[in-house]
Structure 1
Amino acid sequence: MSATAARIKAATIGALAFTTTLAGLPAAAHAAPRPSSPPPAPQVQASVADPDKALGAGWRKSSDITVTGTGDTDGYHLHIAREKDAFAWSTLATLKSSEMNGAPWGGAVCVTGSGRYAVAVFAPKIAANKPSAMQAGALAAVVDTTTGKAVHVATGVQYSYYNPACGPGDRALLVRGIGGDLDKQRTDLLTVDAAAGRVTSTRRIDAQLSNPVPAPDGDYGIVGGNLVKVAANGRLTTVAKPNGRTFDIRATAGSGIDLISLNGETAVAQRFHGGKLTTTATGPRTNLQLFGLRGGSNALVGQVTLKGGKTPAGLTTLRSDKPVTTISTEGHLLVEEAYSQQTADSLAKPLTAADPTRVGQSAVTVRPAGSEQRSTGVITTTAAPVLDAQATAVSAAPTVAAAPSYITNPKCAVPRNDPTVQPLQPSPDMVEWAVDLAVHEELFVNRPANYLKTGLPAYQPQSMFPMHSLVGGGRVPANLLLAIIAQETNLSQASWHVVPGDTGNPLLPLYYGSHSVDTIYYPDADCGYGVGQVTTGMSVGDTVYTANQRKAIAVDYAANVAASLNILIDKWNQMKNEPSAARSQINDGDAKHIENWFLAVWAYNSGFYTYADRAKNNGRYGVGWLNNPANSIYKPNRLGFLRDSLADAETPNLWSYPERIMGWVETPQLKGSGTAYSEPTFGDNGPTFWRVSWHKPEISWNDGVSLPGLYTFCSPAVNSCSQAQNGCPAVSSACWWNGLATIGNCENLECTTEKRVYSAGDSEPGVKRIYDRNCSELDDYGVNDYDSSRPTAIVYTLNDTGQYNLGCTNVKPQNGRFNLLMGDPSGATDDSYYAAIDLHQVGAGFQGHVWSTYGYSGDRLKKHKIVGQWTPDLGLGPQKRGRYSVLVHIPSHGGTGNAEYHLQPSTRDNDEYVDFKCTINQDEVGEGNYSYDHWMILGNFDLGRGARLWMSNAGVSSSDSVGWDAVAFVPTTVDNGDFCGKYH
């Protein structure tokens, strides 16, 4: 596998988002089948065609540059295009953190006024689903645009569209949301000296500050709809009241501040200078943007109408018929779209592992300013500096001498790395089948006793989890629950390290209570299991479910769907059960209309707080501010999620959680030439929109879901929120919403209803395997000089072969023992607890089980070293010897690195110690360019009692993994000449 192969980790940011990649989180790279034929060669790094015509005569001497970012499983890639090269693209740097789970990566980038430095904020895209991670879960770096040298400058910053913020000089600002999940009303403002590559100050602001801007005369931002100046001690001074909700703001070198705010569907550009705000231009809400240029001037981009027909000093205009992602530092090039190929794949191939051959490939569409000539092409990540940043878990407790309970006592009731807890990864149609039947109370498929070798008694999913009744009657629309599951987990029941047809660990993102693979803090564990990320009742000591119910939720996707359905119903019922004077409801409250579930979906992600408990919450009740579409953390000029283009998947953090769910209802994930689950039935009079089709290279007309307006959930009487006040002010007691709202006129056929594919009596679809199950038997006779008078000893990775759960019927008994030794030295220090964080089960290899982990080196190896040891029972008496050819099984997936096997022939006191070493490439490929199951020979040896073989992840590249599979010790009559690396 390429050295740039993606390092994919089991996500550890709770309540996951299929963040788009959500349809998103791809399965592990080491589980990815290779394509049947190599992908088409990428085009020459996309550049402007006919630059003399498109860019003008002086392009060869220009210093103009463009920097943009795309994310995949290998990191957040910064790409740079220089006008002197006709804006051909190259890689500036790749940013990531091997400590953080939850790849693929996303981010945002700005270029300082000098053009010398790029400042980037980057995080796993699933951070968009977790309130705490979105507020303070991202990393920040400064990158030199001439050399690509990247410096990590901050940990735990906000993952939002206005972070980072660059100024006309080389000073930049970062923000960090501070406070509990319910309030989010304080902000840390970090000042970055980009030239020095460090944070020079951090100020605590007792408000939700958005849109920070460094200016020559100080720092500014937006608080409660006002433009404020931030003093050195964090004190705020209001200096102006913009026209409406501000979403773009940039300072000029001349001490002016340009900004754009909203007035209904009109975007209004204004300049603050000399203590006054004056209007400079207007444009459509969705197509007027502001960007900074080199030297401290700014550019208005879009459909710009200048006030009085004059352009103020330091401000230029660039016409564009659609929103753009960025422009070059001198305004000569507009980047209309940029997204990684893995992002595109994740939408088109849900539940398919991320293709490592697509790592570093991105699609980009550009247009020279003043030209209608668009160029679309593929750019490929080239050799460039890589920053692997250290991520310090925000809630991590300090290390102490003795292992404390927060390291030793898991919070989640169903463990990881337990062979009796191995869910099967379903195919998308299986999940749709379960949802379609569950919402109609028909999910009564029979699960036999010991299903998936769990030890469970026989059960039926919806008998084990009877469907709750909806207050007011009706049922959950199937398409809505499917969209939630798509957002949460990419339709995955098992870890993203396994693909359909595999078994593995449960999908349990925050089991260890930390976003870092170097930290365990069990009290912060999320305990969200499976396709629906069920957390209710899944902690140790919870009494909501029995032990059998908890195991079924963790293992069986159908049982998980049944439990998830009830959680969503409970959120609906919470609202319906409120006193009539305090009720929260959408439209007429009829459950059949998907739009009417907007608040329940909101609560599914961030909770609903009842009127009865208002005294516990300072008088507040309803739904919290974080997921309100009016929250300034979401860019107000956005269209509906996935309505504009596929590139929305690169920036899921621009939309609130319920908006993203409605996007997945409206635009299901794709599967081949169709969808992974069905579209709903759209209202005859519902919204429609144009979008480039994902199936054909043309624009198509699409039906849509009725969506709330930006200020639908704003009321001066309820939460002191209005358009005039730029959303909710920074007072925590005022930011909660409750009441009645209208999203479409359902009586006028503007609302969306369910469309189901499967009905009662439809049998469970068979899993669409990515890899064939390997139930073959070892061919002993194929070994040269095989000695049939003595038994072959096969040592599996599970000592109880009855736990192999993929249905093979010919699993022979274990002839020996397999052990995993954690830490370095193993078990000798508290560090040995940490190795299990990055240990995974994969239903691959001989008879269907492989242990897998990634490579580590240096200081981090102490925590993450794992040694797998096979000790055969050769049936030899004391002082007896025998010739054996030692064969290791190499799985089709589960390992990508060079595995170094060591053999000790015996433990006899007078036996000369020999540490034989053989290195095998576990990423061997065969016909059709697929990895495949096969046996490799380590050699022929004279073995005695106590012989053992071992292999570890030490010295393996951090991009690669190693897999422990079965080993066979085949007796031979003589030394048959077998050698290291020979095929069998």
Structure 2
Amino acid sequence: MDSSRRDAVLAKGWRNSPDVAVATAGDGSGFHVLMARARDGYEWRTLATLSEPGMDTDQWIGNACLTGTGKHVMVVYAPRHFTNRARLFARGAFAASVDVDSGDVTKLKDQVTLAYFNPGCSADGTVALTQGADEEHRTSRLLRVETRSGKVTDSVVIPGQISSAVPYRDGFVAARGNALVSLSTAGKMKSLATAASVPFDVHVDAEGGVAFAEQADGDITVRYHAEGRTRTLAKGRLGALSVRSGGDGRVFLLGEADEIRSLPGKMSLLPGPAGGQISSDGKLVVKSAARSGLREGLRTDPKDTDISGVGKDSGGPEAIDVAAEVPATEAKLDFEVSPAARQAPQIRTGSVPNPRLATIAKSSAKKTAGAADKTATTSASGAALAAESPIDAGYTCAVPRNDPELQVYQPHWRQVEWAVDQLVQKRLQVTRTNWKSLKLTNWSPQAEFPAYDLEGGGRVPTNIMLGILAQESNLWQAQRRVAEGELGNPLVGNYYGVDIYDSDPSNDWAIDFSKADCGYGISQQTDHMRKAGSERPGETAWPADKQKAVALDYVTNIAAGLRTLTEKWNQIWTDSHATMRANNGASAKLENWYFAIWAYNSGWHPQAEANGTDANGEPNNGAWGLGWTNNPSNSYWKPGRHPFLDGNTYADAATPQYWPYQEKVLGWAAWPITKTYWDPAQGKNVEQAGYNAAWWNHNDYRSAVVPVIQKVTLFAVDANAFCTADNNCRPGTTNYESPATSTAGTCLRADFKCWWHLPKVWKPDCATQCGNEGTIRYSDDVWKSTEREDPQDYWYPCQTPGLPSGAKIVDDVPSTVPAFRGGCNNSGWTNSGTFSLEFGRDSAGRVPAKADFQQLGNGFGGHEWFGYARNASHNGAVMRVIGTWTLNQQINGPAQVFVHLPDHFGYTRQARYDVHTAQGIRSRVISQRPVKANAGQQANRWVSLGVFAFSGSPKVSLSTLNGEGVGDESVVFDAVAFFPTTCP
């Protein structure tokens, strides 16, 4: 903020105020924790950027709270796609304590829920963390953490769902069903108060009183429990009033209250956005924080089929938009924060791997070691590789990472829209014939996965399918670092657990990632995608070529996802005898896909099994329909939330953990995902709508894309819309009934099988009030058989000039590996040697370094590898990758050595090349950072390391272990050249 404005907009006395504000936002590089002090005019700096190796995602997400002492921030964080899987959402997130002064990060080995209420900070330096319950695991576990040390001091296991836990006295206070309960560390539970709903916004003040909120019929009531009695403090509209905690045990009511009563001594009402986060003294309210790529995108001509540009990887974090308000002056402040601009001294500790990496089961280590022996020299396609294969040992998903013979094309969002436009109309006539030179048999994506004819008639609206793809994968088929038009590793939901995480089946509180699904590509196709021989009970694997087509080709992947979606629609229609419909059930209307989207994510429990057993052999006792996890009544979803993205609030996408799956998808259907491309003419990134928008007859109808309660201009999601006695669910009530001792949540069943199988009408005049798909962009007949061509922004020449005639080139892959990328003339040169890899190992002999290593179909010859620089004190030895280029002929004399640096993914400033000479190893340290060429464009280039004397076959080695970093700077491995010379 401009210093000249501070006196006018900030609270009086800001220069001497101890007020501290915290904001969080994630991008692909990590989850950024920002802090600003009033005395600095709220100039933001980055305390920490939290991430984990091997977790490839478009965006890290999470929750955070500042402890009452103001000395630490407790953070829960995870990849965005964890919100799409029930078990990962309930127990898969990471946790860390961040020191406010230094930025030093202490990571906990325990993994916790991503639910909106987690973590829960107290008035002192302790924090409550929750490991959640789901349909598979029906108990909750609460952890009490001392943030200074990052140690778990106490824990307790409770049957059923527990939410909104915070430290209280020597134990916890939390919500269990419609009761506010205290819990001792010995597991003793006492009901403090009953509520009209599941209590939320639970905070303990300095005097030990407990403030909490309840909801009913679109209204919120704030209540306070102290000294054995509970009283009402305030009332307002749901979504307009909330409870927040500050420093030193202060509690604030934030927003607009329709009724206010006597407040406790350290509690006050502040104006501001109810969904915001309050600073320690209540002098600033952070309304939202989100990466710049979540701004509303420009909506272009709906019939424009051109591609404007592709995303550009800068090698660093995205800018963050922070919106805030000053309660004292009602001033609205907007900040654009660069996470790399002002950083805490210990910023790099945020990317040190989670300590769970060091707690490895011995049996898993033995299994992996055995698998490594079998896969060391052969790719999945049978091609010979280097002495130590980059392919993950013991992989169980169908298509492995880092197989240079199996590279995945990253589509442009316009290509995705083209494919959906054709597939939903069943008119795609494209056949894949040696597509991308991947040596697969010819196939037709639509014929391979034909969409089912819908029961009731009609077809899938484009915006529904595009909304699913946006939520599942950000419209990506390949991993994050692969730009549109490039090729690289497959995008797989949870591939790495097999080689990193605790696989002890007796540890009920650790996520066993090896058992997570193998969701591939843009639709995260899961079924049938495990490697043959690695199927789980009841699963079957597709033939290998079919699996490869799904993993490698975005069109085939979309076709498979569309087939799954139409199957779910028909399952619901048939099983319910056409009675379970949303609104009027017309397939052309977007809202009417609510149930099918729900089933796409978490499956359909057929009526025929209502009196049978589930997959675990446990009785269903009459339950059938849609699962409990995504039910809006589940207490893990944020009360008072508005419809996802409603009113173009794209900052919602920074916190997707607040909404269940179908609400997010319908949000993406109503408000198109934003994609960012680099515009060289403007020299900046430009935001663009990823696809054509759907339309409604009125904006209020759009806001009600899901069931809502409308109070004046506020739209709050109706949490009770799918909660009735018919599915054993208890909605909010004003009767203050005590919860049964055997239940712990709105679901009254101890097995959480409050499954929904009834119709729901929230738009009685659906023909007028429901949404419609947007304009079909690729509707002309030519697009039936013509694929939208690949963008060529990163199609640099595969042969880079600059070598002297006669130089001998050694590439990073064998000559048998073709260049899969278009526009790559790879003839006229000879690969004159071999490239080998060596990976670091942990104490159990496992290879987590492979999770940090990737390939890209670019660079010299159309292929490059890259890893991440780490120093010795930050797990550099375990995560080390060494690449060695060896010439296949002898040089007995001097030769000049060149290394090829591709346009992108060489960002380290300390690339140390070890040249094996006649006199021993001679090291040269260079920066791999790109340089600007003509017109500001980056380009591939050769760099000379100098002239060296050799005796025998020359070798050059490069390691990711250097003095620079902790995993935030990439190290690229491309080609090396040797030029014999007479110069000394």
Q: Distance in 2 between matches of 1:708 and 1:296?
A: 31
Q: Verify the 8 A CA contact 1:203 1:234 in the aligned structure 2.
A: yes
1:960 correspondence with 2:965: no
1:363 correspondence with 2:348: no
Q: Structure 2 vs 1, CA of residues 593 and 114 (structure 1 numbering), >3 Å: closer, same or farther? A: same
Question: Structure 1, residues 488-512: CA drift from partner, whole Å, max 9, x if none?
Answer: 1111112212101211112123223
Q: Distance in 2 between matches of 1:123 and 1:456?
A: 35
Report deviation, 1:53. 7.0
Report deviation, 1:147. 4.8
Q: Verify the 8 A CA contact 1:112 1:171 in the aligned structure 2.
A: yes
Q: Distance in 2 between matches of 1:593 and 1:723?
A: 30
Q: Structure 2 vs 1, CA of residues 100 and 711 (structure 1 numbering), >3 Å: closer, same or farther? A: same
The 5 A counterparts of 1:763-842 are 763-776=786-799, 778=801, 783=804, 786=805, 792-801=807-816, 803-807=818-822, 808-812=824-828, 814-824=830-840, 831=845, 833-842=847-856
Match of 2:330 in 1: 372
Q: Distance in 1 between matches of 2:588 and 2:717?
A: 18
Q: Distance in 2 between matches of 1:233 and 1:649?
A: 39
Q: Verify the 8 A CA contact 1:107 1:159 in the aligned structure 2.
A: yes
Match of 2:708 in 1: none
Q: Verify the 8 A CA contact 2:703 2:715 in the aligned structure 1.
A: no
1:164 correspondence with 2:155: no
Q: Verify the 8 A CA contact 2:68 2:246 in the aligned structure 1.
A: yes
Of 435, 438, 458, 2:420 maps to 435
The 5 A counterparts of 1:147-186 are 147-153=102-108, 155-178=110-133, 182-186=135-139
1:415 correspondence with 2:426: no
| 3-state SS in 2 of match to 1:960 | strand
1:893 correspondence with 2:904: yes
Q: Structure 2 vs 1, CA of residues 406 and 392 (structure 1 numbering), >3 Å: closer, same or farther? A: farther
Which letter does structure 2 place at the counterpart of 1:166? C
**Percentage identity across aligned positions?**
30
Q: Verify the 8 A CA contact 2:467 2:665 in the aligned structure 1.
A: yes
Match of 2:190 in 1: 237
Q: Structure 2 vs 1, CA of residues 100 and 842 (structure 1 numbering), >3 Å: closer, same or farther? A: closer
Q: Structure 2 vs 1, CA of residues 964 and 406 (structure 1 numbering), >3 Å: closer, same or farther? A: closer
Q: Verify the 8 A CA contact 1:823 1:832 in the aligned structure 2.
A: no
Q: Verify the 8 A CA contact 2:121 2:127 in the aligned structure 1.
A: yes
Q: Verify the 8 A CA contact 1:838 1:853 in the aligned structure 2.
A: yes
Report deviation, 1:455. 0.9
The 5 A counterparts of 1:478-627 are 478-513=462-497, 516=500, 523-541=514-532, 543=540, 545-580=542-577, 584-614=580-610, 615-617=612-614, 618-619=619-620, 620-627=623-630
| 3-state SS in 2 of match to 1:687 | helix
Q: Verify the 8 A CA contact 1:140 1:152 in the aligned structure 2.
A: yes
1:758 correspondence with 2:773: no
Q: Structure 2 vs 1, CA of residues 347 and 816 (structure 1 numbering), >3 Å: closer, same or farther? A: farther
- RMSD after superposition: 3.3
The 5 A counterparts of 1:3-402 are 49-51=5-7, 54-56=10-12, 58-98=13-53, 100-102=55-57, 104-153=59-108, 155-178=110-133, 182-194=135-147, 197-216=150-169, 219-307=172-260, 310-320=262-272, 322-341=273-292, 343-344=294-295, 352-356=311-315, 358-359=317-318, 361-381=319-339, 382-384=342-344, 385-386=346-347, 387-388=349-350, 390-391=353-354, 397-398=361-362, 400=365
Q: Distance in 2 between matches of 1:222 and 1:829?
A: 42
Report deviation, 1:719. 2.6
Which letter does structure 2 place at the counterpart of 1:766? E
Which letter does structure 1 place at the counterpart of 2:82? A
Q: Verify the 8 A CA contact 1:687 1:705 in the aligned structure 2.
A: no
Contiguous gaps of at least 5 residues in structure 2: 300-307, 373-392, 505-511, 676-685, 706-712, 734-738, 740-744
Which letter does structure 2 place at the counterpart of 1:890? L
Q: Distance in 2 between matches of 1:942 and 1:406?
A: 41
Question: Structure 1, residues 263-296: CA drift from partner, whole Å, max 9, x if none?
Answer: 2111111122343332221111111011123333
Q: Structure 2 vs 1, CA of residues 474 and 689 (structure 1 numbering), >3 Å: closer, same or farther? A: closer
Which letter does structure 1 place at the counterpart of 2:690? A
Match of 1:735 in 2: 754
Q: Verify the 8 A CA contact 1:470 1:573 in the aligned structure 2.
A: yes
Q: Distance in 2 between matches of 1:579 and 1:491?
A: 33
Q: Structure 2 vs 1, CA of residues 705 and 606 (structure 1 numbering), >3 Å: closer, same or farther? A: farther
TM-score, normalised to structure 1's length? 0.84
1:636 correspondence with 2:648: no
Match of 2:410 in 1: 425
TM-score, normalised to structure 2's length? 0.84
Q: Structure 2 vs 1, CA of residues 354 and 660 (structure 1 numbering), >3 Å: closer, same or farther? A: farther
Q: Distance in 1 between matches of 2:257 and 2:442?
A: 67
1:667 correspondence with 2:681: no
Q: Verify the 8 A CA contact 1:177 1:186 in the aligned structure 2.
A: yes
Q: Structure 2 vs 1, CA of residues 959 and 259 (structure 1 numbering), >3 Å: closer, same or farther? A: same
Match of 2:681 in 1: none
Q: Structure 2 vs 1, CA of residues 832 and 406 (structure 1 numbering), >3 Å: closer, same or farther? A: closer
Q: Structure 2 vs 1, CA of residues 840 and 83 (structure 1 numbering), >3 Å: closer, same or farther? A: closer
Q: Distance in 2 between matches of 1:606 and 1:373?
A: 44
Of 949, 954, 969, 2:978 maps to 969
Question: Structure 1, residues 737-767: CA drift from partner, whole Å, max 9, x if none?
Answer: 2221124235441112223211343122222
Report deviation, 1:841. 1.4
Which letter does structure 1 place at the counterpart of 2:604? F
Q: Distance in 1 between matches of 2:83 and 2:309?
A: 19
Q: Verify the 8 A CA contact 2:836 2:885 in the aligned structure 1.
A: no
Q: Distance in 1 between matches of 2:289 and 2:4?
A: 15
Match of 2:736 in 1: none
Q: 101-110 or 660-669, which moves further after superposition?
A: 101-110
Q: Distance in 1 between matches of 2:524 and 2:717?
A: 26
Question: Structure 1, residues 726-746: CA drift from partner, whole Å, max 9, x if none?
Answer: 732462244222221124235
| 3-state SS in 1 of match to 2:427 | coil
Question: Structure 1, residues 493-537: CA drift from partner, whole Å, max 9, x if none?
Answer: 122121012111121232233595899978425222111111121
Report deviation, 1:354. 4.8
Q: 563-572 or 756-765, which moves further after superposition?
A: 756-765
Q: Verify the 8 A CA contact 1:815 1:872 in the aligned structure 2.
A: no
Q: Verify the 8 A CA contact 1:903 1:917 in the aligned structure 2.
A: yes
Q: Distance in 2 between matches of 1:110 and 1:576?
A: 44
Q: Structure 2 vs 1, CA of residues 432 and 64 (structure 1 numbering), >3 Å: closer, same or farther? A: same
Q: 256-265 or 380-389, which moves further after superposition?
A: 380-389
Q: Distance in 2 between matches of 1:295 and 1:54?
A: 22
Match of 1:938 in 2: 945
Which letter does structure 2 place at the counterpart of 1:715? T
Match of 1:745 in 2: 764
Q: Distance in 2 between matches of 1:392 and 1:613?
A: 42
Report deviation, 1:396. 6.0
Q: Distance in 1 between matches of 2:4 and 2:845?
A: 53
Q: 552-561 or 365-374, which moves further after superposition?
A: 365-374
Q: Structure 2 vs 1, CA of residues 150 and 939 (structure 1 numbering), >3 Å: closer, same or farther? A: closer
Report deviation, 1:862. 4.4
Report deviation, 1:434. 0.6
